[in-house]
Structure 1
Amino acid sequence: MAKCDVCGAAVSMPYNCRHCGGTHCSQHRLPENHSCSGLHQWNDPKGVFDSGFDSSADNAETSSTDRILAKLPIDTGPGGPLAYFRGNVTYTILLFMWVTFLLQQVASLGLAPRGSLEMYPSAYETYRSIFVLTPQNPEYAWTWVTSIFAHGGLIHIAFNSIVIFFFGPLLARYLRDRQFWALFLGAGILAGLAQIMIQISEGGYGLLGGGVVGASGGALAILGVITVLHPQLRVYFMFFIPMPLWILTVGFAAISLLLVGGGGAGAGGIAHAAHLVGLVVGFAVGEYIKRTQNVRGPNQFQLGPGGPGGPGGGRGPF
């Protein structure tokens, strides 16, 4: 039997808040009766709900995700083609990743000689200066960010997208949009810099070798936070092997640690050092959230019904 997040009463037919995902009794089911953490993302730019009696609606806080999407030359309001991303930092990150990946393909074709799929070394260097954080040019500060959204192939971006898609909405229950972006970008930048620092220390990456791309640092930071907050969350490794989330995460961390410690930070073309740094950042943020917020227990931790607030279901795919 579920318990109310506010009063702790046992509830046979609980109400699940569509804003924050909390579980409540009938007395505390309204957002204003349980200090709903999801209301900070509410925004009504067109005054759809303005009755004329509450002027505070015009001053409602606009999330950072909404402000970013508002700058795009496409309607992101209700009913617009990007309405699904409005107020949803997880899906906005995924959108940026896939758009960047598409731009990578366009750039690689545009820089290649006509009738060829291969770029000349000078053109490849230009490509890398846009999308890749490299040990040759770590001072290219824009690549600290572009390299997070760029990826090395379909499998690479698909794996990171799965992690962010399933665990991002869970993290959004505890962090505001700005905090979510700070974690994702901060962990991604630290992870990328750590990886190329190891490449620089080891040497041997060549004139156009080395470098790092991918959202793995940010994605694994998200995974690390959720592991600290909900270690017993059941996931399916390879989509069919059930296990608690903490076992998957610890195993992943152990492999990365062994490879980095053994001089194989880039073994198999995988940025193991970046993965490890992302997890460490996630563990640290998870501990901070655990100490400063009320983390719901296993019986109260549920995902919403899907839609713009996040995907439904109560378990991840791994």
Structure 2
Amino acid sequence: MGRISETVKILLIANILFFVGSQFLGDYAVKMLALWFPENANFGIWQLVTHMFMHGGISHIFFNMFALYMFGSVLEQSIGKNRFIFLYFSAGLAAAGLQILFTYLKFNPAYQNLIDAGIDPGTIYQSLGRAVQSNQYQFFPGVSQDTVMQLTDAYVTPMVGASGAIFGVLAAFAVVYPNLPLYIMFIPIPIKAKYLIGGYFLINVYSAITGATILGPSNTAYWAHIGGAVIGFITMWYWKKNQFNRWN
């Protein structure tokens, strides 16, 4: 373990402060700072950034910050502060954007099914508003329970965490140090970064497409992970290809 780089240190402190503060503010912090679906009344444009500093629990923030420390410091020392900041936040924003896109792809067809069943928009949004407050589904005659659950889950589930930005860091690390041997805990066999991080990315792609959870909780925002990783990879690949390793 080397020294913590400047930006990584600031990000670690900011994430920890947000986490501690959110424990005191509770639901209010989630309402204001988590990233809500744009159709939800709780949505605010600032949440595209603030959600990166919110986390759902001790294990969530621990693993994200551990990965940021282990890979982020080395990466920042290689590419410089300004580029690291750009990569981190662009990956986080891309993660949010892709997750929102796929949430719309779930929400819109389900919403249209309710409209086709003769349920007016006002009634639909009233039921969704109550779901935000009570976390309960309101079912309608002539509409399948799966459709209602798909619509409601898309509307009421906020996005939190730095995972998208972290995946951008991981992907960029694999571009800069593709053959660096890494170790998984309890497995004393070195695996090259490009294979370990690439394999982790493919697991997330599989989970995003199939809905099957292999690593992490069932409500993991897999598309956010993918969006962050893709931007991190493309950005670092472009820099490495065009800047002749002159990062600063």
TM-score (normalised: structure 2) = 0.71
Instruction: Answer yes or no: is 1:107 the counterpart of 2:54.
Output: no
1:215 corresponding residue in structure 2: 162
Matches within 5 A, 1:60-99: 88-99=6-17
State the number of aligned residues: 197
**For the residues of structure 2 that align with 1:196 and 1:219, how far apart are their CA atoms?**
18
Letter in 1 for 2:13: L
1:269 corresponding residue in structure 2: 219
**For the residues of structure 2 that align with 1:133 and 1:261, how far apart are their CA atoms?**
22
> Structure 2 stretches of 5 or more lacking a match?
108-149
The alignment's C-alpha RMSD in Å is 2.7
Q: Classify 1:264/1:137 alpha carbon distance in 2 versus 1 (closer, same or farther; 3 Å).
A: farther
Matches within 5 A, 1:136-285: 136-137=40-41, 140-203=44-107, 204=150, 206=152, 209-238=156-185, 240-241=187-188, 242-263=190-211, 268-285=218-235
Q: Classify 1:278/1:239 alpha carbon distance in 2 versus 1 (closer, same or farther; 3 Å).
A: farther
Higher relative contact order (CA 8 A, sep 6+): 2
Instruction: Answer yes or no: is 1:132 the counterpart of 2:34.
Output: yes
* 1:42-86: CA deviation from partner (whole Å, max 9, x where unpaired): xxxxxxxxxxxxxxxxxxxxxxxxxxxxxxxxxxxxxxxxxx98x
**For the residues of structure 2 that align with 1:263 and 1:169, how far apart are their CA atoms?**
33
**For the residues of structure 2 that align with 1:107 and 1:211, how far apart are their CA atoms?**
16
Q: What is the Cα deviation at residue 193 of structure 1?
A: 2.6
Secondary structure at the counterpart of residue 183 of structure 2: strand
* 1:130-159: CA deviation from partner (whole Å, max 9, x where unpaired): 221011258511111110011011111111
**For the residues of structure 1 that align with 2:89 and 2:47, how far apart are their CA atoms?**
12
2:242 corresponding residue in structure 1: 292
Percent of aligned pairs with the same residue?
Answer: 28
Does the aligned pair in 2 maintain the 1:187–1:221 contact within 8 Å? yes
Does the aligned pair in 1 maintain the 2:31–2:42 contact within 8 Å? no
Q: What is the Cα deviation at residue 260 of structure 1?
A: 2.0
* 1:237-257: CA deviation from partner (whole Å, max 9, x where unpaired): 135443111111111111111
> Structure 1 stretches of 5 or more lacking a match?
1-20, 22-83, 109-123, 297-318
Q: Classify 1:98/1:239 alpha carbon distance in 2 versus 1 (closer, same or farther; 3 Å).
A: farther
Does the aligned pair in 2 maintain the 1:196–1:211 contact within 8 Å? no
Secondary structure at the counterpart of residue 152 of structure 1: coil
**For the residues of structure 1 that align with 2:85 and 2:42, how far apart are their CA atoms?**
22
Does the aligned pair in 1 maintain the 2:32–2:42 contact within 8 Å? no
Greater helix content? 2
Secondary structure at the counterpart of residue 269 of structure 1: coil
**For the residues of structure 2 that align with 1:279 and 1:213, how far apart are their CA atoms?**
17
Q: What is the Cα deviation at residue 270 of structure 1?
A: 0.8
Q: Classify 1:214/1:206 alpha carbon distance in 2 versus 1 (closer, same or farther; 3 Å).
A: same
Secondary structure at the counterpart of residue 166 of structure 2: helix
Q: Classify 1:94/1:238 alpha carbon distance in 2 versus 1 (closer, same or farther; 3 Å).
A: same
